[in-house]
Structure 1
Amino acid sequence: MHITSLYRYPVKGLTPEPLTQALLTPGRCIPWDRAFALRQGDAVLDESNPAWISKMNFMCLAKNPGTAALHTHFDENAQTLTITGPHGTLSANPFTPDGQSQLSHYLITALGPEARFGAQGEAPKFHFFPGYSFCDHKTQVISLISLSSLAALEEAVGAERDKRRFRANIYFAGASPWTEFSWLGCKLAIGEVELLIQERIDRCAATMVNPDTAIRDANPVKELRTHFGHIDFGIFAEVTKGGTIRPGDQLTLL
């Protein structure tokens, strides 16, 4: 088995960024994965001590399919987040109050009527908290998808399902379809790195969105249930031993 591609998603719900390598740290996600998010104005989030809350409290593909039309690039060295979409291009510093205000305004405009405001008129707000990840899991994890399982889904439905619908960090090849579900509780080695496989990933309406057109044009959740009797696709894993991973690296079940 080997890694075919590696991604991070700097802004929750927005563009995947392909990586040539990633330095993993025990107990942490891929650096800058879901590091930023737009909190909806009706969501309750303690900014002084942020705890995990559901993705439905944020701008996300499950609720806001049109955001797939926004293309982002995060440059950590220049401390710049660039968003390009139907409303033009914005480059701003996502770490400063001024930059976060600019990003909030841009994304509120992009959301249009899907931007939600609180009972007292609280507007959606762009957030970054050092060391925090706005991931769908309550702890920081790495997500993996087997391309063999994707091929099995495509064969069952008789149509292509772009892997980007499933927003994984690691896509890998070389395993039998669905065998990854038998790895729960096991460790996976990628060179010096070790991952503890924690659970299957249950899927939601975000997978309905075509990453190229931003239109809901398929229903992988229904397809998985109909053809395979579940709605799971991919696995979550915790980094237990750190190091650098790259596309092409071999995966070994320990």
Structure 2
Amino acid sequence: MVLTVSGLAIAPVKALAVVFRAELSVGPDGVAEDRRLFLITPTGKIVTLRDFPALVSVRPDLDLAAGRIAVGFPDGSVAVGPITPSDRQVAGTFLGKRRAGRVVPGAPAEALLDYLGQPVHLVLAERIGVGWDEGPVTMLGSGSVDLVADAASAGRDLRRFRMTVTVAGTAPFEEDTWVGRRVGIGELVVAVTELLGRCVVITRSPDTGTPDWDGLRALARRRGPNGIILGVVARVVRPGAVRLGDQVAVDVG
């Protein structure tokens, strides 16, 4: 069966809502806008959805070319401001990776502070790739989603999986077999490095952050208690553009 790109998504601000795109430009370290900003507490703790699930209700709109960030909240309000980082540098560690950058003051940062009800800084990462956890590109096959989600509509919402690329036409867990192989996705070529372990984030509503699907148990039923994995991680071999509908080819040169 022909494999094609059926979904493309980024999270411009780590821990906020994912944003779907019709096209992504993927560089050596991933998509420039993906997790390019993050939130950090004054004590150096990186803010995540596991700790603050309600952040998934906040939709970011990042325009790096224009130097602008907007964040939209559930009540319909939107805070907009320039990406003009201060001289203040901050850093924290999450999943063994150092996350560093400069604090971005302004209306979006103030609105996020008010929404969370505790002090946080909005930070522009010092370089592309600081924000991602496992690797610059993640991929998931639609056949895996179909099997794990069964008939539950909640489990079929691709936003909860927060993947860079979703591939249509795969058999269940077919992407597992791509580890150690090169995959062409449109103009992009990646080397698949590992399986992607999952956490409680997939069990929470992409709209509200409240639990609405027992996804970890659903995975365990299909894969066994030690197989809470779904999707794969890849590094970039040849940068390029990826568009919805592009063909996906395994074992490319």
Structure 2 residue 211 is the aligned partner of structure 1 residue 216: yes
Runs of at least 5 residues in structure 1 that lack an aligned partner in the other structure: 44-56, 116-122
SS in structure 2 at match of 1:223: helix
Q: Which structure 2 residue ranges, 5 or more long, are not aligned?
A: 88-102
Instruction: Give the match for residue 107 of structure 1.
Output: 112
Judging changes above 3 Å, is the alpha-carbon distance between structure 1 residues 86 and 20 closer, same or farther for their aligned structure 2 residues?
closer
Q: 1:109 to 1:151 in 2, by over 3 A?
A: same
Deviations 1:165-202 (A, max 9, x none): 01001011111110111111100012442110011111
Output the TM-score relative to the length of structure 2. Answer: 0.83
Q: Secondary structure at 1:23's aligned position in 2?
A: strand
Measure the CA separation in 1 of the matches of 2:79 and 2:197. 34
The amino acid across from 2:229 in the alignment is D
CA contact (8 A) 1:92 1:100 kept: no
Counterpart among 78, 81, 86 of residue 66 in structure 2: 78
Query: Given that residues 142 and 238 in structure 1 are in contact (C-alpha distance below 8 angstroms), is that contact kept between their aligned partners in structure 2?
Result: yes
Q: How far is the alpha carbon of 1:86 from its aligned partner?
A: 4.7
Equivalent residue of 1:10, what SS?
Answer: coil
- TM-fit CA distance, 1:15: 2.0
Amino acid at match of 1:32: E
Q: Distance in 2 between matches of 1:216 and 1:3?
A: 28
Residue 60 (structure 1) aligned with residue 48 (structure 2): yes
Aligned to 1:243: 240
Matched, 1:145 2:140: yes
Q: Which has the higher helix share?
A: 1
Instruction: Give the TM-score normalised by structure 1.
Output: 0.83
State the percentage of identical aligned residues: 23
User: What number of residue pairs does the alignment pair up?
Assistant: 227
Q: Which residue of the partner structure matches residue 252 of structure 1?
A: 249
Match of 1:129 among 117, 125, 129: 125
Compute the displacement of 1:89 (Å): 2.0
Match of 2:230 in 1: 233
Indicate whether 1:159 and 2:152 are aligned: yes
Note the alpha carbon deviations across 1:92-144, whole angstroms, 9 max, x for none.
Answer: 113333982223322121112xx4xxxxxxx421111342431122xx42011
Indicate the residue corresponding to 2:13 in structure 1.
Answer: 11
Greater share of strand residues, 1 or 2?
A: 2
Amino acid corresponding to residue 253 of structure 1 in structure 2: V
Specify the alignment match of 2:33 in structure 1.
32
CA contact (8 A) 2:23 2:241 kept: yes
User: The residue matched to 1:97 in structure 2 has which SS?
Assistant: coil
State the alpha-carbon separation in 1 of the partners of residues 63 and 146 from structure 2: 33
Shift in alpha-carbon separation, 1:86–1:171, aligned structure 2, 3 A: closer
How much does 1:81 deviate?
0.9
The one-letter amino acid paired with 1:34 is: R
Structure 1 residue 9, shift from structure 2 partner: 1.0
Residue 180 of structure 2, aligned match among 179, 185, 189:
185
CA RMSD of aligned residues (A): 1.9
Bigger drift between 221-230 and 173-182 goes to 221-230
SS in 1 for 2:112: helix
1:251 aligned counterpart, secondary structure: strand
Shift in alpha-carbon separation, 1:23–1:40, aligned structure 2, 3 A: same
